Structure 1
Amino acid sequence: MGTGSNSSNDLVVPQASQALEQLKFEVAQELGIQIPQDGYYGHMATRDTGAIGGHITRRLVQIAEQSLARR
């Protein structure tokens, strides 16, 4: 392992953090899920946070597939 933390949540491209945050809000809005203003997800239903994460993963896979198809 390299330097830094061992967290699996570390971004390979730190600049992607803002784009992922925006994607999270877009997906939540599409699903009709309100993201807490204070950023604390502890009071949200696991079903809702899981739905957001699942849709984000699908969207990222689509983006990767489109990128590979263009090559």
Structure 2
Amino acid sequence: MARNRVLIPEARDGLSRFKAEVARELGVPFSDYNGDLTSRECGSVGGEMVKRMVQEYESRLK
């Protein structure tokens, strides 16, 4: 059962581009198949994505 569904399907491409951008900046070699990456590498990309999204949201509140 897939648990990583996108709540807004139109956002799928944007999220993919954002993930690729963050991975590239962190030096993590993301591709179509990421089974050879460590949990740390994948987690660092996801964590950085969340960090940036929270920063963007907080900047809009001010």
* Pairwise TM-score range, normalised by the shorter structure: 0.7 to 0.9
Q: Which runs of 5+ in 1 are unaligned?
A: none
Q: How many residues align?
A: 62
Residue 25 of structure 1: aligned partner: 20
Q: Give the TM-score normalised by the residue count of structure 2.
A: 0.82
**SS of residue matched to 2:28:** coil
Distance 1:45 1:12, change over 3 A: same
Cα-to-partner distance string for 1:4-43 (whole Å, 9 max, x where unaligned): x883x2222211111111111111111111112xx11111
Larger gyration radius, structure 1 or structure 2: 1
1:54 CA drift (Å): 0.5
Deviant stretches of 4+, over 4 Å: none
Unaligned runs of 5+ in 2: none
Seq. identity, %: 35
Aligned to 1:11: 6
Q: Which has the higher helix share?
A: 2
State the AA in 2 paired with 1:49. Answer: C
* 1:64 to partner: Cα distance: 1.4
